[in-house]
């Protein structure tokens, strides 16, 4: 990776500032799918999307979200050959909208993803407490949060291939049990009402609050940016990254749609909405018990926790690599940009992320905030807003970048790839951004004041990045 550090400072040896790994297409797909926490989505997000959204029409909404993100990915991948280093969305934003906006987006990304990571630890630890309570074992959520943080910190110190192996093992098991459940439901012809067809009925799809359903469906794809973040650690990135991006989006989108369809079919349209509204957390385990027996019911409760651990591991790696790449561009202390000589990992950045998260978790525990309804609800919503901002900025950057190149007659890119698809994605993302703003207090735990503070913090982070880029002309995103 090419580094531009502050003048007067000594660059670390090149061997210490480049990450190493051998991730292939499917390994990268596993990273993205694990980050999406598919089992946790089916067991947690889907019931919420059904009860607050459009009920039995939710499977179609997942497909709509997938199409919007595929349109986004077309432009994202078209710009990829012009972005030679890892760095993810903020680097792409800088290519089209300028280095000042790019560094502003970098600080937005740091703030948003760090908040999201802290929130995910709250959800993971809360689920772990519930699991052990079902076995008659009482524990404090902070114990599980600290253990998980130390575990992900250890794997962040090692080569990325270790995380890949852990994620692959966890993901295969959780996907397998859901696929077996889906097959059992369809082979038995569904529940009392048979196989649901509600998602094919436009009236059902547009019933209730389809916009809110789209928001929840869209948030279930968080983490697909990993394909670009891990660019320096994959084999043949020019081929691997595009293939993995498209594959991951299709795998996740189809998995969500089919599994949601099966879950609805296992109850019947009306009964499914009622179950999701009355006790959404018990919906998937109850269906598992009915179709696969008590062992599957208890097994899925364990796998939801392991699914969340895999999700946390992915985002811990993403945040560490954000600190690493931004440091290697001179915008953070150079020590954060060091790679481990043996493991090729961003070991300093990973350690800093681990310590930062631990401090926040201990602080939250001291003030008595609940892990799920307090910590997760507030911090994850915070991170979601940052994610939407980055997607909007990237889509706009693609349009501006290729419009400029076309005007300068530097090349003749495909109109569909660089204009039509990104424009459609931008239109869809603007709609989702509107929904986020409309529902912002609910996304951050129900506090209007916190929603206002959140927006101010993102504006301040963006402004800090822009000001830094103006004051430090030696900083580049390349």
59/43 Cα distance (integer angstroms): 14
Locate tokens 């596993």: which residue?
30
Q: What is the pLDDT of residues 359-381, one digit of tens each?
A: 999 999 999 888 887 888 788 87
CA dihedral 452, 453, 456, 461 (to 10 degrees): -140
Of the candidates 222, 221, 285, 212, the one whose C-alpha atom is nearest the C-alpha of residue 44 is 285
- Residue 208, SS3? coil
DSSP secondary structure string, 376-411? IHHHHHHHHHHHHHHHHHHHHHHHHHHHHHHHTTS-
256, 269, 421 from 432: Cα distances, Å: 19, 26, 17
> Is 7 a domain residue?
no
> Is 1 a domain residue?
no
> Is 429 a domain residue?
yes
Q: What is the pLDDT of residues 425-436, one digit of tens each?
A: 999 999 888 888
Of the candidates 233, 224, 245, the one whose C-alpha atom is nearest the C-alpha of residue 311 is 224
> Is 300 a domain residue?
yes
Q: How many domains does the chain have?
A: 1
Residue 246: count of CB within 10 angstroms of its CB:
16
Give me the domain span that covers residue 421. 14-471
The CATH code of the domain that includes 395 is 1.20.1740.10
Helix locations, 268-293, DSSP H: 269-279, 283-292
252/386 Cα distance (integer angstroms): 21
pLDDT greater than 80 at residue 172: yes
Average pLDDT over residues 397-406: 90
245/63 Cα distance (integer angstroms): 16
> Is 4 a domain residue?
no
In this structure, is the dihedral angle defined by the CA atoms of residues 273, 275, 277 and 280, taken in order, positive or negative?
negative
> Is 163 a domain residue?
yes
164-168, 196-200, 353-357: range with lowest mean pLDDT:
164-168
> Is 9 a domain residue?
no
Maximum CA pair distance of the chain?
A: 73
34-43, 173-182, 354-363: range with lowest mean pLDDT:
34-43
> Is 423 a domain residue?
yes
When the pLDDT of each residue in the chain is averaged and rounded to a whole number, the result is: 85
Predicted TM-score (pTM) of this structure: 0.84
Asked if 323 and 353 count as a contact pair (C-beta separation under 8 A), the reply is: yes
């Amino acid at each position: 990776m090419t580094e531009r550090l502050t003048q007067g400072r000594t660059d670390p040896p090149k061997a210490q500032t480049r990450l190493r790994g051998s991730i292939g297409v499917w390994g990268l797909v596993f990273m993205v799918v694990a980050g999406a926490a598919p089992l946790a989505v089916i067991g947690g997000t889907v019931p919420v999307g059904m009860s607050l959204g459009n009920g039995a029409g939710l499977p179609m909404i997942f497909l709509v979200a997938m199409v919007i993100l595929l349109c986004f990915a077309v432009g994202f991948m078209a710009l990829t050959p012009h972005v030679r280093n890892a760095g993810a969305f903020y680097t792409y934003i800088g290519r089209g909208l300028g280095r000042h906006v790019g560094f502003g987006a970098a600080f937005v990304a740091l703030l948003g993803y760090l908040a999201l990571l802290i929130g995910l630890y709250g959800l993971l630890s809360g689920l772990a407490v519930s699991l052990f309570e079902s076995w008659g074992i009482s524990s404090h959520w902070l114990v599980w949060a600290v253990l998980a943080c130390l575990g992900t910190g250890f794997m962040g110190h090692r080569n990325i291939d270790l995380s890949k192996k852990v994620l692959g093992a966890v993901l295969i098991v959780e996907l397998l049990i859901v696929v077996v459940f889906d097959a059992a439901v369809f082979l038995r012809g569904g529940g009392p009402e048979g196989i649901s067809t509600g998602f094919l009925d436009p009236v059902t799809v547009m019933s209730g609050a389809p916009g809110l359903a789209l928001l929840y469906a869209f948030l279930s794809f968080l983490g697909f940016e990993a394909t670009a973040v891990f660019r320096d650690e994959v084999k043949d990135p020019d081929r691997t990254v595009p293939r993995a991006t498209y594959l991951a989006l299709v795998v996740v989108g189809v998995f969500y749609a089919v599994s949601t369809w099966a879950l609805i079919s296992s109850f019947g349209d009306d009964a499914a909405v009622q179950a999701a509204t009355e006790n959404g957390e018990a919906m998937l385990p109850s269906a598992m018990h009915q179709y696969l027996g008590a062992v599957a019911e208890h097994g899925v409760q364990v796998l939801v926790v392991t699914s969340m651990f895999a999700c946390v591991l992915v985002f811990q790696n993403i945040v560490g690599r954000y600190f690493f790449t931004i440091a290697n561009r001179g915008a953070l202390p150079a020590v954060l940009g060091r790679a481990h000589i043996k493991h090729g990992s961003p070991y300093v950045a990973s350690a800093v992320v681990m310590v930062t998260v631990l401090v926040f978790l201990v602080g939250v525990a001291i003030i008595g905030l609940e892990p799920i309804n307090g910590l997760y609800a507030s911090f994850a919503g915070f991170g979601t807003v940052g994610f939407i901002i980055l997607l909007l900025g990237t889509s706009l950057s693609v349009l501006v970048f290729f419009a400029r190149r076309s005007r300068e007659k530097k090349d003749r890119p495909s109109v569909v790839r660089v204009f039509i698809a990104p424009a459609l994605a931008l239109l869809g993302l603007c709609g989702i951004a509107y929904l986020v703003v409309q529902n912002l207090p609910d996304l951050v735990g129900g506090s209007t004041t916190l929603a206002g503070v959140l927006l101010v913090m993102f504006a301040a982070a963006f402004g800090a990045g822009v000001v830094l880029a103006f004051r430090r002309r030696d900083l580049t995103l390349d």
